[in-house]
């Protein structure tokens, strides 16, 4: 059966550990993997913008001895002259792996259903698995462990990154507090909460969706936030969203309420003065560029795993 990575919970706990530990090994000795994907091709399909994801996948493929194709949906017949079925079937006759950044989870699922090669989600409206696997690699490196870690997430929680963070906390049996407005527009979807609840019942993880950011920060090892203006949200909504989300901004008060050695994380892109203040993201507790770097290493490990190489 072809394995895909559409959300982080498509991998078991053991597989997540395998990928994270392998990413750490690859990072330490990249030259050992220079020919691992010799002759292999990755097709990267983008419907939304990207800096980190595009550049890290392409560089990763080069460093593994393979080749990556950047393909913008704008240049494709998809949705105009062709359906997802025919695109997926045709593309998988050429390449060994497909990575896609599409807006809708239904489109990605359909793509994976018809693809004859593994499909990696590079961000849709439901998940960002490469991000959170890289983030957990970063936490493991910085804290020396994942066990017992408490994460607090702030802001827009109806959000792809939040969803996969919660899932991975559920898989690893950790703790997460999500501080967000009571308005359903900013709260996680029921389907995600049910999945996380089920993962937590097996792993012993605990999670709370709360409205009090100071309470969420308490006892936290990791303070995490994401953009208030995810890709695709209309600029017209920016002022309205800013007003509602401002009480959940990560600032020095939030950081002071967390553990003394708490770290600040953000998947980027970030806007200073929105979801966090500049002193936090540019301060000594911020590890956002380590996160960005680890996308490169973890995605290599993901590709090698999906192709059955290591
Ligand atoms: N974090 C992340 O996925 O960044 P890009 O949108 O730049 O790819
Ligand atoms: N939630 C953000 C993540 C960007 C990597 C977005 O969807 O734009």
Tokens at 212, concatenated: 């009090």
The CATH code of the domain that includes 148 is 3.40.50.1370
Structure confidence at residue 78 as a pLDDT band (50, 70, 90)? confident
Tell me if 2 is assigned to some domain. no
144 in a domain, yes or no? yes
Report the alpha-carbon distance of residue 164 to residue 170 in Å, rounded: 9
With a pLDDT cut of 90, the percent of the chain lying above it is 98
**Does residue 158 sit in the same domain as residue 276?**
yes
Report d(CA 172, CA 266) in Å as an integer. 20
pLDDT exceeds cutoff 90 at 79 = no
- Measured from the Cα of 232, ligand 2's closest atom is 8
Residues 258 and 220: beta-carbon distance below 8 Å: yes
Measuring from atom 7 of ligand 1, which residue has the nearest CA?
Answer: 51
Contact status, residue 305 vs residue 19, Cβ threshold 8 Å = yes
Q: Are 140 and 281 in a shared domain? A: yes
Ligand 2, atom 6: nearest CA belongs to which residue? 230
Residues 185 and 241 in one domain: yes
Residue of 54, 161, 166, 270 to test ligand 2 pocket, by largest number of atoms within 8 Å of CB: 161
The pLDDT value given to residue 125 = 98
Pair 175, 250 in one domain: yes
Separation of alpha carbons 307 and 310, rounded Å: 8
Ligand 2 centroid – CA 5 distance (Å):
17
Q: Are 141 and 42 contained in the same domain?
A: no
| Structural domain harbouring 51 | 8-128+295-306
* 58 & 146 share domain: no
Structure token digits, residue 60: 């990763």
Any domain includes 24: yes
Give the count of domains, the chain: 2
Residue 206 resides in a domain: yes
Kindly list the catalytic residues: 101, 128, 131, 226, 267, 295
Tens-digit pLDDT profile for residues 83-104: 999 999 999 999 999 999 999 9
pLDDT of residue 116: 98
**C-alpha distances in angstroms, 120 versus 55, 100, 171, 307?**
15, 6, 19, 12
Whether pTM > 0.95 for this model: the answer is yes
Whether residues 164 and 203 share a domain: the answer is yes
Average pLDDT over residues 139-147: 98
Examine the pLDDT at 15 and tell me if it is beyond 90: yes
Backbone angles phi, psi at 65, to 5 degrees: 90, 5
Q: Take residue 159 and report the two structure tokens written for it.
A: 């959000």
Check pLDDT > 90 for residue 257: yes
Q: Are residues 191 and 47 in the same domain?
A: no
Averaged pLDDT, 189-196: 98
Same domain, 56 and 183: no
Give a yes or no: residue 1 inside a domain.
no
Please state the rounded mean pLDDT for residues 143-164. 98
Residue 230 lies in a domain: yes
CB 98 within 8 A of CB 119: yes
Give me the chain's average pLDDT, please: 98
Among all bound ligands, the one having the nearest atom to the CA of 230 is 2
Residue 251 clears pLDDT 90, i.e. is over it: yes
**Pocket (CB within 6 angstroms of ligand 1):** 50-53, 123, 131, 267-269
| High-pLDDT (> 70) share of the chain, % | 100
Establish whether residue 159 lines the binding site of ligand 2, counting it when its CB lies within 6 angstroms of any ligand atom: yes
Band (236; pLDDT cuts 50, 70, 90): very high
- Domain contains 198: yes
Q: Cβ of 149: how many Cβ atoms within 10 Å? A: 18
- pLDDT tens digits, 50-60: 999 999 999 99
How far is residue 139's CA from residue 264's CA, in Å, rounded to a whole number?
A: 10
Beta bridge partners of 43: 69, 98
H, E, C per residue of the chain? CCCCECCHHHCCHHHHHHHHHHHHHHHHCHHHHCCCCCCCEEEEEECCCCCHHHHHHHHHHHHCCCEEEEEEHHHCCECCCECHHHHHHHHCCCCCEEEEECCCHHHHHHHHHHCCCCEEECCCCCCCHHHHHHHHHHHHHHHCCCCCCEEEEECCCCCHHHHHHHHHHHHHCCEEEEECCCCHHHCCCHHHHHHHHHHHHHHCCEEEEECCHHHHHCCCCEEEECCCCCCCCCHHHHHHHHHHHHHHCECHHHHHHCCCCCEEEECCCCCECCCECHHHHCCCCECHHHHHHHHHHHHHHHHHHHCCCC
**Is there a single domain that holds both residue 225 and residue 145?**
yes
Does the CB atom of residue 100 touch ligand 2 within 6 A? no
Closest CA to 249 of 208, 287, 217: 217
Question: Are 142 and 277 found together in one domain?
Answer: yes
pLDDT digits (tens, 9 = 90+) for 32-43: 999 999 999 999
Statement to judge: residues 121 and 230 lie in one domain: no
* 158 domain residue, yes or no: yes
């Amino acid at each position: 059966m072809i394995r895909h990575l559409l959300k982080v919970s498509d991998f078991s706990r053991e597989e997540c550990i395998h990928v994270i530990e392998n990413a750490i090994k690859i990072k330490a000795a990249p030259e050992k993997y220079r020919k691992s994907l010799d002759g292999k091709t990755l097709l990267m399909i983008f419907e939304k913008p990207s800096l980190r994801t595009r550049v890290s996948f392409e560089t990763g493929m080069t460093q593994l001895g393979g080749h990556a194709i950047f393909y913008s949906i704008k240049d494709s017949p998809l949705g105009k002259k062709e359906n997802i079925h025919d695109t997926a079937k045709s593309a998988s006759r050429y390449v060994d792996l497909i990575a896609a950044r599409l807006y809708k989870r239904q489109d990605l699922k359909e793509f994976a259903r018809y693809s004859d090669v593994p499909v990696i989600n590079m961000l849709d409206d439901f998940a960002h698995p490469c991000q959170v696997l890289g983030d957990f690699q970063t936490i493991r490196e910085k804290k020396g462990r994942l066990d017992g870690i408490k994460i607090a997430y702030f802001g827009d929680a109806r959000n792809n990154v939040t969803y996969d963070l919660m899932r991975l906390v559920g898989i690893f049996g950790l703790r997460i507090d999500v501080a967000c407005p009571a308005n359903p527009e900013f709260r996680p979807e029921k389907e995600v909460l049910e999945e996380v609840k089920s993962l937590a019942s097996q792993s012993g993880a605990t999670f709370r969706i709360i409205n009090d950011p100071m309470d969420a920060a308490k006892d936290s090892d990791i303070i995490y936030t994401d953009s208030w203006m995810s890709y695709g949200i209309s600029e017209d909504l920016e002022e309205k969203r800013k007003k509602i989300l401002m009480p959940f901004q990560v600032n020095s008060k939030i950081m002071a309420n967390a553990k003394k050695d708490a770290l600040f994380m953000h998947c980027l892109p970030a806007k200073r003065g929105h979801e966090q203040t500049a002193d936090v993201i540019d301060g000594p507790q911020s590890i956002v560029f380590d996160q960005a770097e680890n996308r490169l290493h973890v995605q290599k490990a993901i590709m090698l795993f999906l192709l059955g190489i290591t």
